[in-house]
Amino acid sequence: MSEDYVLQMKNIEKEYYGNKVLKEVNLSVRKGEIHGLIGENGAGKSTLMNILFGMPVIHSTGGFSGQVYLNGEQVDIKSPFEAMNKGIGMVHQEFMLIPDFTVVENIKINREITQDNIVSKLLKSNRLKILNTAAMAKDARNALHRVGLTIDEWITIAGLPVGHMQFIEIAREIDKTGLKLLVFDEPTAVLTESEADNLISTMKRLAESGIAILFITHRLSEVMQVADNITVLRDGELAATKKREETNVAELAEIMVGRKIDLKSKTEQEKECKEKEAILKISNLQVDMPGEKVSRVNLEICKGEIFGIGGLAGQGKVGIANGVMGLYPTKGEIIFKGEKLELNNTKNSLNKGLAFVSEDRRGVGLLLDSSIELNIVITTMQTKDKFLKRFGFINQLDSNEIREYANRAIKELDIRCTKPQQLTRQLSGGNQQKVCVARALALEPEVLFVSEPTRGIDVGAKKLVLDLLLKLNKELGMTIIMTSSELVELRSICDRIAIIFRGEVAGILKASNSDREFGLMMAGEYQKFSSEEAG
Amino acid sequence: MNDTLSKIINRIGLPRLIISLLFLAICITAVVIKLPFGMIVSDIIRRFGMFGVLSLAMVPAIECGTGPNFALPIGIICGLLGSLIAIEFSLTSPLLGYGFISSILISLPLAILSGWLYGMMLNKIKGSEMLVATYTGFSIVSFLQIGWVTLPFSHPEMRWPIGKGLRVTVSLASTFGEVLNRLWGFSIGRVYIPTGLLLFFLGCCGLVWLFSRSKAGIEMSTAGANPKFAAASGINVDKNRVVGTILSTILGAVGVITYSLSFGFLQLYLAPLYMAFPAVAAVLIGGASTSKITISHVIIGTFLFQGLLTVALPVANQMFPEGNLSEVLRMIVQNGIILYALTKMGGES
């Protein structure tokens, strides 16, 4: 029975620095089967694939436990090269193609067909053989034909449309002799709809020819279109393995997101925005942030609420706060307290009463080699001329005032440090985050943007940071806009949550909405699904 | 035990430790081979004051994020031009510090203008400042080779007696040569203390220190330490890089005037070509990195570096009388230190 399986992964477990990212994961793929693998960001899909390919990151962090079988035979893959030799291929999300090489060269790279010449014969060296371009071109054309691409095989990659590059990658993989298993890592993320359809039919064709396919994606409808079996990962655990016939998009969405969430604390707080004044109105916002492009966002934030912005990575949720603060080129209209906000002017945004805790704590949020106290006051000093002593034309730091303020902030936010002069580099992630929040609070903002406040900090500190945000909201009436990849977090403190999909607002939900609705919306299936349901 | 040892080494910094030990060893050797120690100590102190301001010019450059200013010759040329103009027009009354103050005043606008232009250029080549700076310095020195020959200076003390152009070295004996050294100068035994020179250097340090604690200074060092952070705090990073470059160029000009004053000559033509290197090496020994520097790094580094070179010279000459090995030794130490520091660049994260 197990002979049927091309790939079996059994009881896979993996730890990163004591942090379990995979727990007893099992995955089996049959010959000629298309197997869907879905899960949120951080569910463990990439780690699982890294294990399959023997990536160095796995071995340099202590390896993994569990067994991997190829064609029923236990294997121990130590490097991506070995994986390739054993017949596992991968189509990457970011294209692994050399732009200045031709299609043929890219397809046959490191597997060139060669023929002898005098020198190579004399020296008995394989490396000095000459390329047999005609045979290579023939192979390449053959592979291109199999993926349904009819381009000239001698043009260079640079300048080809994105969709073509994807197919060339596939062609390269299927050109490898003995290919048994092909992994597609979110192949449709960058494709247009027709290209995606084309890809899906190619996948089906490949499967019919006997290659097993592992299809990793966020898009539930595509999985439902092609996959024979579907495995769902959640928080590093195997949430479910389903046959396609036995499930539907809604159920998959629910399994993907589903977590027990304590909603009691929040339900009484849900307010209707209409009764309240809108403090921030964002219309047609476009932000050109690499990797987190915002294409058209309209939002209205009420005074005194905690507003959540969620969605999968790369869909543009992070770009919104960065855009409002003027850190990336921004277009559109932002009305703050009834006044039009000047765009692309960070100083002005800060002066008007907006503050921002960046998602990139160590990169943007902190001066790592400066003291805690300087970190806390520096933005306020620069934008509002506070914490300075004046002597005519000359001004100097007011060290006493800074020390006093820093000590107060350290006490209030419970920043664990030896002294205010300590360098922020030496603090733990949670305490660094508190320094970032303290810096934003020193500005005495009316609206506070917080992006990924709990990224990379441990569980206990996470709760402290979230409690702090709740406290600020309740006691100071501060409006907080929190962007986070962690839905649980958003749902535990936010009044309303906007889900961003492909740079636009897919919808606004309340914390009490069901897992299913959140899952569908994040996967961009909400509209389709609800209209189907209605129809 | 090992831990505490490595902690101590970490705190002092390996290059600083090695150079300090080398310095001590050579000092002991100097005493052992009975060199005139009083003279050597006087020399160390004089060279410390002489090179101090040039090393100080590295502070704004590193703080604003453009790295050690290898293009210091730009500022040096401005300083030299300022001095030449001051002497040409005989602005050398005692009230003008025998030409010292007038030289600085004349070189200021030149330094501001060239620093501004150079700063704008640096903003276009972010990431490769040091290499570009080195060659900018070389180019400007080479360009001025033509200038020294063709500029219409006519003062007899600076022209060749026959032929065209300026002399290679212009004596300052009749103008501001050594005026600061002699100001309130006194001797302790055989050691001469050039009080004015030292006070001037420390005064410059004080001014830079005050600037670093002002709003503008903090703005500048923030822009240098983390440009993304600075942008998120509403700071114009490019503007601050230009400000830092201008300040560094001004200090370079003032630095070379102080240097020439103490040396007694203005050195033209090829002399400024390598002047940036000892200044860079000094602050790096002092404990600065290509991204972080304090005034104490300048003071400690200049003292160690110049001290080492001053003592090493006669010691090496005594031990190897043939040839000028001391000059070779100086180059090895100086370039070795720069090389070491550059390998450390961006090493900490």
pLDDT digits (tens, 9 = 90+) for B174-229: 888 888 888 888 888 888 889 999 999 999 999 999 999 999 999 999 999 999 99
Q: Tokens in use for A433? A: 């985050």
Question: What ipTM score was computed for the predicted complex, to two decimals?
Answer: 0.80
Does residue B12 sit at the A interface (CB-CB below 8 Å)?
no
**Domain span including residue B182:** 49-275
Q: Where are the beta strands (DSSP E) in chain B?
A: 169-171, 186-188, 191-193, 265-267
Q: Tokens in use for A263? A: 């909603």
Pick the CATH number of A263-353+447-535 from 3.40.50.720, 3.40.50.300, 3.40.50.261, 3.40.1190.20: 3.40.50.300
B140 in any annotated domain: yes
Q: Tokens in use for A479? A: 């409006």
Of A365, A368, A388, the CB nearest to B215: A388
Residue type present at position B54 = L
Secondary structure class of B256 (helix, strand, coil)? helix
pLDDT for position A460: 67
pLDDT for position B323: 67
Contact A356 B232 (CB under 8 A): yes
B329 in any annotated domain: no
Contact B228 A369 (CB under 8 A): no
Residues in contact with B51: Cβ distance below 8 Å, sequence separation at least 6, in sequence order: B255, B259, B278, B279, B282, B302, B305, B306
B176 in any annotated domain: yes
Contact B219 A382 (CB under 8 A): yes
- Which H/E stretch holds residue A20? strand A19-30
- Tell me which residue of B48, B74, B106, B117 sits closest to B275, measured CA to CA: B74
pLDDT for position A261: 45
Contact A369 B213 (CB under 8 A): no
Q: Which residue of B has its CA nearest to A399?
A: B213
Contact A360 B233 (CB under 8 A): no
Residues in contact with A325: Cβ distance below 8 Å, sequence separation at least 6, in sequence order: A346, A349, A350, A354, A356, A449, B232
User: Which of A364, A402, A426 is most worth mutating to test chain B (most B CB atoms within 10 A of its CB)?
Assistant: A364
The C-alpha of A498 sits at a distance from chain B's nearest C-alpha, in angstroms, of: 24
Q: Which residue of A has its CA nearest to B214?
A: A396
pLDDT for position A196: 79
Q: Which residue of A has its CA nearest to B227?
A: A364
Size of interface A-B (CB pairs under 8 A): 66
Return the domain boundaries, chain A. Answer: 1-86+180-192+206-247, 96-178, 263-353+447-535, 362-444
Rounded to 10°, the helix B14-32/B295-319 angle is: 40
Residue type present at position A275 = E
Distance CA A97, CA A79 (A): 20
Contact B214 A394 (CB under 8 A): yes
Contact A327 B235 (CB under 8 A): no
The C-alpha of B83 sits at a distance from chain A's nearest C-alpha, in angstroms, of: 29
B220 contacts in chain A (CB < 8 Å):
none
pTM: 0.75
Contact A382 B233 (CB under 8 A): yes
Contact A396 B229 (CB under 8 A): no
**B 292-311 → A contacts, CB under 8 A:** 292
Rounded to 10°, the helix B100-124/B129-150 angle is: 140
B235 contacts in chain A (CB < 8 Å):
347, 382
The CB-based long-range contact list for B198-205 (8 Å cut-off, 24+ gap) reads B198/B45, B198/B48, B198/B49, B200/B49, B200/B53, B200/B258, B201/B48, B201/B49, B201/B52, B201/B53, B201/B56, B201/B258, B204/B52, B204/B53, B204/B56, B204/B251, B204/B254, B205/B52, B205/B56, B205/B295, B205/B298, B205/B299
Contact A369 B225 (CB under 8 A): yes
Q: Where are the beta strands (DSSP E) in A374-478?
A: 388-391, 394-397, 447-451
Distance CA A444, CA A355 (A): 8
A309 and A317 in contact (C-beta within 8 Å)? yes
- Tell me which residue of A158, A140, A138 sits closest to A149, measured CA to CA: A140
Spacing of C-alpha B97 from chain mean position? 21
Contact B218 A382 (CB under 8 A): yes
Q: Which residue of B has its CA nearest to A369?
A: B225
- Tell me which residue of A256, A343, A301, A275 sits closest to A41, measured CA to CA: A256
The C-alpha of B114 sits at a distance from chain A's nearest C-alpha, in angstroms, of: 25
- The CATH code of domain A1-86+180-192+206-247 reads 3.40.50.300
Distance CA A134, CA A151 (A): 17
Domains A1-86+180-192+206-247 and A263-353+447-535 share a fold: yes
The C-alpha of B236 sits at a distance from chain A's nearest C-alpha, in angstroms, of: 9
User: Which of B209, B215, B237 is most worth mutating to test chain A (most A CB atoms within 10 A of its CB)?
Assistant: B215
Residues in contact with A121: Cβ distance below 8 Å, sequence separation at least 6, in sequence order: none
Does residue B93 sit at the A interface (CB-CB below 8 Å)?
no
pLDDT for position B254: 95
User: Which of A354, A379, A389, A450 is most worth mutating to test chain B (most B CB atoms within 10 A of its CB)?
Assistant: A379
Distance CA A353, CA A349 (A): 7
Spacing of C-alpha B110 from chain mean position? 18
The C-alpha of A383 sits at a distance from chain B's nearest C-alpha, in angstroms, of: 7
pLDDT for position B248: 95
A13 DSSP β-pair partners = A65
**A 362-391 → B contacts, CB under 8 A:** 363-370, 374, 378-379, 381-383, 385, 388
Does residue B113 sit at the A interface (CB-CB below 8 Å)?
no
A342 contacts in chain B (CB < 8 Å):
none
Does residue B233 sit at the A interface (CB-CB below 8 Å)?
yes
Q: What is the pLDDT along chain A (535 residues), one digit of tens a residue?
A: 445 788 889 998 888 776 778 888 898 898 889 999 988 766 788 888 888 888 888 888 788 888 899 888 888 888 888 888 888 888 877 678 888 888 888 888 888 888 888 888 888 878 888 888 888 889 889 888 888 888 888 888 887 877 788 888 888 888 887 888 999 888 776 677 777 788 888 888 888 888 899 998 877 888 888 889 999 888 788 888 888 888 888 888 888 876 544 444 444 444 455 556 788 888 899 998 888 888 889 988 888 888 999 888 778 888 999 999 988 999 999 988 888 888 888 888 898 889 999 888 888 888 888 899 999 999 998 888 888 888 878 888 888 999 999 999 998 888 888 888 888 888 877 888 889 989 998 988 989 999 988 877 766 677 788 888 888 888 888 899 999 888 888 888 888 899 998 888 888 888 888 888 888 888 877 776 666 555 4
A369 contacts in chain B (CB < 8 Å):
225, 292
Number of domains in chain B: 1
User: Which of B10, B210, B226 is most worth mutating to test chain A (most A CB atoms within 10 A of its CB)?
Assistant: B226
Q: Which residue of A has its CA nearest to B217?
A: A396
Contact A347 B234 (CB under 8 A): yes
Distance CA B347, CA B349 (A): 6
Contact B219 A379 (CB under 8 A): no
Pick left, alpha or beta for residue A66 (phi over 0 → left; psi -120 to 50 → alpha; otherwise beta): left
Secondary structure class of A506 (helix, strand, coil)? strand
Of B228, B234, B292, the CB nearest to A382: B234
**B 147-166 → A contacts, CB under 8 A:** none
B42 in any annotated domain: no
A350 contacts in chain B (CB < 8 Å):
233-234
B208 contacts in chain A (CB < 8 Å):
none
Of B213, B218, B231, the CB nearest to A378: B218
Contact A382 B222 (CB under 8 A): yes
Does residue A431 sit at the B interface (CB-CB below 8 Å)?
no
User: Which of A369, A402, A424, A425 is most worth mutating to test chain B (most B CB atoms within 10 A of its CB)?
Assistant: A369
B219 contacts in chain A (CB < 8 Å):
382
B191 in any annotated domain: yes
Residue type present at position B335 = N
Distance CA A99, CA A76 (A): 33
Q: Residue B326: how many CB atoms within 10 A of its CB?
A: 18
B343 in any annotated domain: no
Residues of chain B falling short of pLDDT 50: 346-349
B345 φ/ψ angles, rounded to the nearest 5 degrees: -60, 130
A10 and A224 in contact (C-beta within 8 Å)? no
Spacing of C-alpha A213 from chain mean position? 23
Give the up-direction half-sphere exposure of residue B217: CA atoms within 13 A in the CB hemisphere: 16
Count the residues in chain A. Answer: 535
A299 DSSP β-pair partners = A282
Does residue A394 sit at the B interface (CB-CB below 8 Å)?
yes
B88 in any annotated domain: yes
A387 contacts in chain B (CB < 8 Å):
none
